[in-house]
Structure 1
Amino acid sequence: MAFGKVPEGIITKDEYDTSIGKLKFHDGLPDEETIQKVYDNLDRSRAMHAFLDMIPMASLEAMRASLVEAGCDACHKAILFESLMDGKSLFLTGNTDTVYVCSILNLERDGPTVIEVPAGAGPGTVNDAYFRFVADMGRPGPDKGAGGKYLIVPPGYDGTVPEGHYVFHSPTYTNFNIIRGFLKDGRPDHAAALWKGGLKIYPLSLVGNQPKMEFFNVSGKVMNTIHSNDFNFFKEINECIQREPIEFLDPELRGNLAAIGIKKGQPFSPDERMTRLLTEGVALGNATARAVSFAPRSAASRLYGEDSEWQTLFEVSDHRWLDDGARTLDARTRFFYIATLNTPAIVLKMVGVGSQYALVFRDEKHQAFDGGKCYSLTLPPNVPAKDFWSVVIYDAQHRSMLQTQQLSPARNSVRHPDIKSNPDGSITLWFSPSAPEGKEANWIQTIPEKTWFAVLRLYGPGEAWFARTWRPGEVREEPEMSRKRKGAPQ
């Protein structure tokens, strides 16, 4: 290369027109206006990526705060949906099909903590403060539904571990524990009694003197477990960063948070400029999360190809969202923006055990659902669900159950035995603001001017589900029914 000659490809031009405006340079040096623009863009971008990266953490923190507010300020205190969850409770895609019992573990305060799971428990999971998998219990766990003692050990613990326990190490102090009980004869009584009579949670240090379990019945209560989608999101994140050990996040993720002012041991007090940019970053992050959640561009999200609107939240067969060693970031964002709980059981093929899910956001003509219209969904005969199936609809705003006069916007094959079948054994469900005449038993209520989406759940999924030899029909708009539905103007 001749002296004084610089390859064209490494030269910075004097001006660039970009999405953040015109950027100007003098012999490679940015002018003052350009410097300000790019730093604003850098901080805004870091805020947006912090939102996308930290949705799991913020979601778990919102869950923790809600349970503590409900009275769960010790590990032996748990909330119980004694008569099931309904639309009054804001839980990301919670359902009306199982009897939830939930608790929060504080391993920094309590040290190693025991969870005694009774025989007959449905799927149970422990997740850490970043909603990462720690342990399964119940049917998908090592006790296989026979019951057993689980010991959740805090980070850095090097003490003795007693025999007779399934031992799991958590990288965080805060852990969320949820176990589901199945309905019996369409009723929740059996499962609620199972938790009250058999579930025990206590610090290992109190063996032989453990406190009696306390259950707070929250069925029908107003609860909000959804993370913020505004500037308060960063306050939720800061709460967690201050509480948890520094090693629980890798340096890259922690570094991005530190760059926007969230650092362990230091106050989070952004100035006016940074507050503005963080607020813009949340707006961009929230918009991005909604795009990847409700209109994913990955073909792997489609259960039956481009012609079908049925989708999965599990685009890779790894609960860590790893694909050939690379994390599928949009898929992780999508999952935790719509749902909760991280367990390998969700992505494993376990015929007759656990549950499988399918989501639908649009009708067969690829149009978003309109709460003022009438739609139908036909499930072919022999739904492959050993235990039961259900369809629940959700509000796209808060991703929790749609709040309607029905309270439980769902139909369930054991809870609603009056569901009518078609002559061929298939079942058609109806979605509209008021019931189409004669379809009341198969009707789920919607709300005019509100969007919604549906989740099909199969409990004890059969081989036909995994082989894709059985598939739900597409959701169809029924314009004639919209005009003729019960109570609608003629």
Structure 2
Amino acid sequence: MIKLRFGSVFVALLVAAPMVANSEVSQETIDSISTPNSVETSIGTLKFIDGAPLPETAETVYDYLDRSRGVDAFLKGMPAASVHMLMEGAHSLGAVEAHQVMIFDKLMDANSLFLTGNSSTMYVVPDLDLERDGPTVVDAPAGALGAFNDAYFRYTGDIGPAGPDKGKGGKYLILPPGYEGEVPEGYFVVKSPSYRMWVFMRMNTSDGLDAAYKNVADNLKIYPLSQANNPPALELISASGKSFNTVHANDFHFYEELNAVVQKEPLDLLDAETRGLFASIGIEKGKPFAPDARMKEILTDAVAIGNAAARSVVWYPREDVNLQGVRSYDDLNWVLAFVNRNVFFNEENGKTMNTDARVTFHYPYTAVTPAMATPREGTGSDYAIAFVDADGQPFDGSKTYKVTLPPNVPVNNFWSFTLYDSQTRSMLQTDQDLPAIDSIKNHPVPNSDGSIDIYFAPQAPEGREENWVQSVSSKSFFTILRMYGPLKPWLDQTWRPTDVMLVE
């Protein structure tokens, strides 16, 4: 037996009687469980003395382990960091207390950094701190469509038509983790696994923005249950036209964002395996996250690799491995936000977590609810996303692209295209008021057969100004087609858009 101290030339040998191999074990078996003295690998040559690693081999392997765990922590910690930054972004505008609520009263625009938001819906976005406030009431207005997401960005309940209020509004009581107190009657109860809870609501604007805002201002109430007899007045904080960030970092700061979640939330928010992964890189509840220079350098490398991995999974999903069901159509490059429309990412058996499917959602999108993944004929909305053109190439903002909508677009309400910045996954900032076109606010000109060509280009093609969304020559982008009130031909795919095609 060899006892070896790193950094020392001293080696103490304890000589034991030699072990004689069982003569019935084949050489093939012995070889399969043995380690050569020199092993060539992708991380270099690893050296051993009869199976015992040399100190430099251990150092190389530990660097690899820390780096790979850092990459895995980025991919697995993404949901937590994402929802954390959504709440931090609202706090930066002053929406800190439960009754202070961020609202896009004049709709969202390209000023804010907000993952794939749209410019057609009035967003109302409270967030709760159940550790600070205890059980909290959300009295939702009629006509709201939304959901509750926990601090790991998991679905915990719906508001609106898919929720228990059935679109009529009502009082929800959100209980903190482990709550054992009295639960009064008259509430729709939501049991939260986390202290912080992100709440999102979309308001119907068919009667105009002013009417939608008045509905919220008059009817939304949020307050701790302990203040039910004298609740604070609602304070709506406009986010429209303001520059602020809600997107998680893709550099070392990501791990600091993740650490903030781990420190805030109860241990049971995460399973033991995930907690152990985060702890292996120094992120552990009740302990400071203070990586030394070596570890910080490794994690900086890890997050760069993790970010590249996330982008690769989103732009080029491996359908032959674990992302079958990501395409909207078998023969087109449009994809779904939720692979197989599964918002739990747990495969058909409900017990196998598909980390890549989770990444394909959480890297570009927000808001988790089955209601957004399961379209209903004539109501709600459905989406198709194009990250690459018809040839499978990422979009080049200096070039001209065209997508064609066949005649009779099957929507009960309207359709829209929005362009997003490939870097920020937020609305592309251009010279136009909005990087979008829709069938209500705009007036795209149809072709003679009733089809509609939409162009994405830095300059409008001649005579196509009404059918054009501006791109930026120095930037890439991707686009989302939204169908509001999708009808049967969309749902059964007898009506389909073309791929987005490069115009030579």
TM-score by length of 1: 0.94
Shift in CA distance, 379/183, structure 1 to aligned 2, threshold 3 Å? farther
Q: CA offsets per residue over residues 416-458 of structure 1, 9 Å max, x none?
A: 2x23222333222111112222222221110002111000111
5+ residue gaps, structure 2, are: 1-21
- The Cα offsets for residues 45-86 of structure 1, whole Å up to 9 and x where unpaired, read as 110000000000000111111111111111100111111111
1:386 is aligned to 2:409: no
1:113-128 correspondence to structure 2 within 5 Å: 113-121=136-144, 123-128=145-150
What pairs with 1:136-155 in structure 2 (closer than 5 Å)? 136-155=158-177
Q: Which moved more, 1:147-156 or 1:223-232?
A: 147-156
Match of 1:268 among 274, 286, 289: 289
State which of 465, 478, 487 in structure 2 corresponds to 1:462.
Answer: 487
Residue pair 2:92, 2:244 contacting (<8 A) in 1 also: no
- What is the identity percentage for the equivalent residue pairs of Structure 1 and Structure 2? 48
Q: Residue 300 of structure 1 aligns to a residue in which SS?
A: coil
Question: Counterparts of 1:261 and 1:3 in 2: how far apart (Å)?
Answer: 46
The structural deviation recorded for 1:140 is 2.4
Give me the whole-angstrom Cα distance separating, in 2, the residues matched to 1:405 and 1:349. Answer: 34
Shift of 1:41: 0.4
Question: Could you say what secondary structure the match of 1:332 adopts?
Answer: helix
Deviation at 1:398, TM superposition (A): 0.7
Give 1:172's aligned amino acid.
Answer: S
Task: Assess, with a 3 A threshold, how the Cα gap between structure 1 residues 384 and 283 changes in structure 2: closer, same or farther.
Answer: same
Q: How many residues align?
A: 475
2:202 is paired with a residue whose SS is strand
1:135 to 149, 153, 157: 157
Query: For residue 478 of structure 2, what is the aligned residue in structure 1?
Result: 453
Q: Take 1:153 and 1:415, find their aligned partners in 2: how far apart are those partners?
A: 41
Q: State the alpha-carbon separation in 1 of the partners of residues 384 and 25 from structure 2.
A: 63
Bigger mean CA deviation after superposition, 272-281 or 385-394: 385-394
Q: Give structure 1 stretches of 5+ with no counterpart.
A: 480-490
For 1:410 and 1:4, the matched residues in 2 are separated by: 70
Q: Is residue 320 of structure 1 aligned with residue 344 of structure 2?
A: yes
Q: How does 1:44-55 map to 2 (within 5 A)?
A: 44-55=67-78
Q: Assess if the C-alpha contact under 8 Å between 1:120 and 1:138 holds in 2.
A: yes
What residue is the counterpart of 1:484 in the other structure? none
Alignment match, 1:57? 80
TM-score, reference length from structure 2: 0.91
| 1:3 Cα deviation from its structure 2 partner | 6.8
Letter in 2 for 1:134: T
Equivalence for 1:94: 117
Distance change (3 Å), C-alpha of 1:344 and 1:189: same
- Give the Å deviation of 1:349: 4.3
What per-residue deviation string (whole Å, max 9, x for no partner) do you get for residues 149-181 of structure 1?
111111111222222211111100001111111
* Cα distance in 2, alignment partners of residues 227 and 365 from structure 1: 31
Q: 2:79 is paired with a residue of what secondary structure?
A: helix
Specify the alignment match of 1:488 in structure 2.
Answer: none
Cα pair distance change 1:99/1:4, threshold 3 Å: closer
1:256 equivalent to 2:277? Answer yes
Question: Is 1:77 matched up with 2:103?
Answer: no
1:432 corresponds in structure 2 to 457
SS of equivalent residue, structure 2 residue 340: coil
Q: Equivalent residue for 1:486?
A: none
Q: Aligned pair in 2 of structure 1 residues 472, 5: CA closer, same or farther (>3 Å)? A: closer
Q: What pairs with 1:392-411 in structure 2 (closer than 5 Å)?
A: 392-411=418-437
SS at match of 1:90: coil
Which residue of 2 is the match for residue 372 of structure 1? 398
- Which is worse superposed, 457-466 or 283-292? 457-466
SS at match of 1:167: strand
Structure 1 stretches of 4+ moved >6 Å: none
Does the CA-based 8 Å contact 1:140-1:353 persist in structure 2? no
Letter in 1 for 2:496: R
How far, CA to CA, are the matches of 2:189 and 2:411 in structure 1? 32
- CA separation in 1, counterparts of 2:119 and 2:80? 25
Tell me the CA shift for residue 360 of structure 1.
0.5
